[in-house]
Amino acid sequence: MANKMNEQQNITLYTGALDNEYTQLTEKGRKQAELLRNLPVIQEIIQVYCSDITRSIDTAKLAKPDSILHIRKELRERSLGEFEGKTEQEIRENPELKKYLEDPQYKGFRTHFEKKTPGGENYTEVRERARQFLSSLNPNEEETIGIFAHLHIIRCLLLQLLTIEPKERIISFTLKNAEPYVLEGKDINHLTLISHSLEELEKNKK
């Protein structure tokens, strides 16, 4: 949710769905994406979907350079609204925004299905985007789909595709950059996570 502005300045910004020069793939990120193309599970992908945020598009292009990309805005990262592009210090200096970090009535947006930043999204809204995207798919039984997206929307995709109770459990899932999470099944409504267990995703917490 927060990302370094750049390696030289070492400043932390709230990024969310921000898409500018500060949120592009780093050199490390580009190398990680290029390495994906050598994985059998990536080579098997027939249909490639990604968000309309540049870092997602670039990752998909590097991992599947010969594929047509289906770019979908439903796969965007969770929006942080007025927090995006600001440092924590700038937010704490803003009388209207600092309560979202300090006031118990407003803070907690990072891990809440209802609370959110001004102009941003909560997990319930991101989950609805995930539902809309999945309902638009109609893959055949033998078709492998690859989705290149972002932490919070991927968590919500997993919530829609798997049996996860309580739903708040997904907040604890740590998903590593450029690591495939593979689901398999007879159709989109009957999938199993085969690359990891849910317990492993929770154990990845720092």
7-21, 56-70, 164-178: range with lowest mean pLDDT? 7-21
Map out the domains of the chain with their CATH numbers. Answer: 2-203 (3.40.50.1240)
**Distance set, CA 8 to CA 84, 151, 193 (Å):** 20, 25, 39
Residue 5 pLDDT class (50, 70, 90 cuts): very low
DSSP string, 60-119: HHHHSTTSPEEE-GGGPPPP-GGGTT--HHHHHT-TTTTHHHH-TTT--GGG-SS---TT
- Residue 10: the pLDDT is 59
Check: CB of residue 1 under 8 Å from CB of residue 78: yes
**pLDDT higher than 90, residue 38:** yes
**pLDDT higher than 90, residue 12:** no
pTM of the model: 0.91
